[in-house]
């Protein structure tokens, strides 16, 4: 019998900011992975106005890779803005994204792909976090605060290694331009009753660049933005578009 999974569409995208040291290898490697999973795939990189060599490297890659599309922001829109552009640019039924800094192994996309049966989102969770001590502490506190404040069941709020059905965005939209978009996404997925499957993935030391979200100077901004998000999603229950259809319970695709 023919393998029907070979016809399932897959969009892969990376938000990239100052990732010139890692983005080329990620694009090449994930292209190899996607080719093994399905015949219908594409790779998208959202260059969020990187001032380094990222743009030049991406232009060279696109010249030799017909499956690669580059979307460039003329002005930096932040991590959330890059994710929103990536989701809007994806054309396939399933969308996978992870960061352009190579802290995750894109070969583990295969594990998420295999777990998508009866799922709307397959989310990775870090087996062990390989970051400096202060980021580990901040990340642990942030994780538990978000689970408590937003009533989340997910094991790892800020694991940006996700595979989603693109059709979910018919029911809700994302609005944040900062790293708070991760909490917004997970909250809207859970509160709308979409099916979540979780898969363990490895996390590695950052080889190039630095974090744009978790740092001491931004803690106040994060706290303020999180309070506004909590008011919208939990108090006012603004988790879906007005009149949006209920989640479909489709089988494997």
pLDDT tens readout for residues 71-123: 999 999 999 999 999 999 999 999 999 999 999 999 999 999 999 998 999 99
- pTM flag (> 0.85): yes
Q: Does domain 8-235 have CATH number 3.90.550.10?
A: yes
Write 223-231 long-range contacts (CB < 8 A, 24+): 225/176, 225/178, 225/180, 226/146, 226/149, 226/180, 226/183, 229/176, 229/180, 229/183, 229/184, 230/149, 230/150
Let me know: does 120 contact 194? Beta carbons within 8 Å.
yes
Alpha carbon distance 119, 105 (integer Å): 22
Q: Which residues contact 25 (CB under 8 A, 6 or more apart)?
A: 102
Residue 135 has pLDDT above 70, yes or no: no
Q: What are phi and psi of 212, to 5 degrees?
A: -105, 0
3-state secondary structure of 97: strand
List C-alpha distances in Å: 36 to 5, 7, 39, 97. Answer: 11, 12, 8, 17
Alpha carbon distance 227, 61 (integer Å): 41
Give me the helices (H) in 14-132, please. Answer: 23-37, 54-64, 78-89, 109-114
Give me the residue spans of the domains in the chain.
Answer: 8-235
As a whole number of Å, the CA-based R_g of the chain is 18
pLDDT digits (tens, 9 = 90+) for 194-214: 999 999 999 987 765 555 555
Let me know: does 169 contact 87? Beta carbons within 8 Å.
yes
Quick one: pLDDT band at residue 157, thresholds 50, 70, 90? very high
Tokens 């979780």 found at = 198
Confidence at residue 41, expressed as pLDDT on a 0 to 100 scale: 98
Quick one: pLDDT band at residue 2, thresholds 50, 70, 90? very low
């Amino acid at each position: 019998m023919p393998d029907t999974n070979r016809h399932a569409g897959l969009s892969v995208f990376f938000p990239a900011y100052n990732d010139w040291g890692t983005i080329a290898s990620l694009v090449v490697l994930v292209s190899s992975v996607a080719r093994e999973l399905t015949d219908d795939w594409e790779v998208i990189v959202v260059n969020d106005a990187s001032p380094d060599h990222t743009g030049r490297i991406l232009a060279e890659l696109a010249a030799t890779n017909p499956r690669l599309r580059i979307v460039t922001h003329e002005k930096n829109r932040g991590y959330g803005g890059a994710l929103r552009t990536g989701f809007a640019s994806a054309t396939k039924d399933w969308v996978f994204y992870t960061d352009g800094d190579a802290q995750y192994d894109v070969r583990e996309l295969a594990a998420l792909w295999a777990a998508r049966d009866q799922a709307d989102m397959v989310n990775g969770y870090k087996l062990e976090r390989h970051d400096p001590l202060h980021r580990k502490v901040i990340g642990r506190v942030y994780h538990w605060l978000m689970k408590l404040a937003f009533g989340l069941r997910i094991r790892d709020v800020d694991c940006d290694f996700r595979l989603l059905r693109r059709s979910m965005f018919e029911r809700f939209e994302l609005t944040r331009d900062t790293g708070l978009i991760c909490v917004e996404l997970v909250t809207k997925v859970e509160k709308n009753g979409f099916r979540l499957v979780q898969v363990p993935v490895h996390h590695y030391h950052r080889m190039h660049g630095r974090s744009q979200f978790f740092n001491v100077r931004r803690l106040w901004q994060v706290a303020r933005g999180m309070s506004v998000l909590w008011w919208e999603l939990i108090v006012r229950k603004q988790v879906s578009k007005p009149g949006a259809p209920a989640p479909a319970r489709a089988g494997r695709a």
